[in-house]
A and B are shown apart, each in its own frame.
Chain A
């Protein structure tokens, strides 16, 4: 077994047995070879089920606001202690929750893991050209895949990383109680906004056409929203009926209004964890929009979301010496 995975299990077991956490959220092997699945463990013997490998794509921070939400019936908040396994991006989402007062810091035990980048299952599926994955595991920086014909294929992990991992600048969690060290985090790339710049250079008409084409794929399943750690509103504007802000049909204008409304709410908050795109069953390229916002917020306010727990969020503060460049 992997050394880090073993340390993780040990840590989890100890936290549960010593009563330092009531619940621990981590990853377990999923029902399909190339998937892990989030797990919620409460017993120390369950710690042996935890895994840590290149398929731990889900951002587990998405579950936190719900766990600490005021119960609508009892009007009480859960007081349980929650342990959570986080990569760099997951941790930055969690920092956002702390800043926005969604999750009490004192109830959390953050188990940080330096991230070597996660695999995009869809890229492996594309490589196999329709053949099914029977087995997928990491071996010395390579991904060993066995397809349904029994053929073994070795893939260079780097070529099958998620797009968000390729441009990640913060693979090490910026905040943690326990850091499980062992492997060094993945080295970040130099120019992270190549794709955004390419889009910026297109004409307005071309950009509009691009976004319309993307949105035409949407089926309004709201998976992007529900997978997003930032979308914790108890009632989403897209579904409110009194008043109704956005139509619920599949009309392109309704779909566009939902996505633009949701994505603009993530400005200055999105950490590019890639959960929205990973969840989308239809392959809508949502990160094209969110990345542009991240770039803009960086240029306008010199701010990066989730990196520091103290720095005030740019859209929730003001500075007297702000030159208000953006509204001139």
Chain B
């Protein structure tokens, strides 16, 4: 895998060339929110940013997606989007989340053709974080602000240049296609990169105790901690919808008479209807059971099923929770490192 240099004055040309060949998605300021959107000119890319408001999962697993249409008993298949795509400017935590989603949507015995088609057609170009936020805790779950996991290409912002590192053959292919636009990295560039890695890691301010978390949760289904932590939870879907790894969905038919479509919509374990059964019984009656489910799924069930914690430490749920219900506090509580209900500090 190669390491190249892209000078910042050539960044626009770099993006322009990508736009000619690919559908390019990048962080764009839209109505006050930084979101991954398709760009048609390099100028649309946001200049400086920490991370997007919404995670990139929507580009692979849309909020609402027609699986197929039907008309008088006849099924009409939806043709998947054929375009090759590049996502530019993703953060390493979000890139890692894609590898977790792969485990759900592209696993033995369950292959989701819609998700897989999009993943195969996408090249991910990430930018390492030089300035993690106070809510970032990727290192607590095996991630890193400079992690390569899930990226095809990883950029390091060295000030005047980007160091461009190919991670996968797909990434290498893209770099090769750019020919002379990139130059070989010098030793001094690699040194700068190493300094950036050191600084970024030192800047990680938030660390939570995660050792043995899965095992601790084994015996905690009836723990009194659930009685207390859910009290302030409003039961909205912000934490699940802004989470890069939450992936639950609901399938409904949107039809008039015998014509319509079968749609897959995002759903949230925090919603009351999530578990309501045809009989009317709802086994998860309150936010207590729902919040417990969310924690169990992230930190226990997914470890059993996929060997991975389904939290990448991006901090979106912390920044955006309307009642400041901080997932780090919950993890501390589970780990027995904090008195029930007390604040995080």
Which residues of A are interface residues toward B (Cβ below 8 A)? 28-32, 35-40, 46, 49, 58, 62-63, 72-73, 130, 132, 134, 148, 213, 216-217, 219-223, 225-227, 234-235, 239, 241, 247-251, 275, 278-279, 281-283
Contact = CB atoms under 8 A, between A and B. Distances in A.
A226 B326 CA distance: 18
A249 B241 contact: no
Contact of A221 (B237, B250, B318): B237
B232 A281 contact: no
Nearest to A224: B236
Contacts of B326: 30-32
28 contacts: A28-B343, A30-B324, A31-B326, A31-B329, A31-B344, A32-B319, A36-B324, A49-B342, A49-B343, A58-B323, A148-B134, A221-B236, A221-B238, A221-B240, A222-B236, A223-B236, A225-B236, A226-B234, A226-B236, A227-B236, A235-B272, A248-B265, A249-B265, A250-B63, A250-B64, A251-B64, A281-B53, A282-B33
Given A241-B273, A250-B63, A130 B238 contact: no
Contacts of B62: 250
Q: How large is the interface on B (under 10, 10 to 19, 20 to 34, 35 or more residues)?
A: 35 or more
Nearest to A43: B341
Interface string B211-247: 0000000000000000010011011111011100000
A231 to B, nearest CB: 10
A63 B232 CA distance: 8
A19 B52 CA distance: 48
Nearest to B234: A226
A219 B54 contact: yes
A50 to B, nearest CB: 12
B177 interface: no
B231 A134 contact: no
Nearest to B47: A130
B50 interface: yes
Most buried by B among A39, A216, A222, A234: A222
B178 interface: no
B18 to A, nearest CB: 25
B234 A223 contact: yes
Contact of A247 (B228, B234, B254, B285): B254
A213 B31 contact: yes
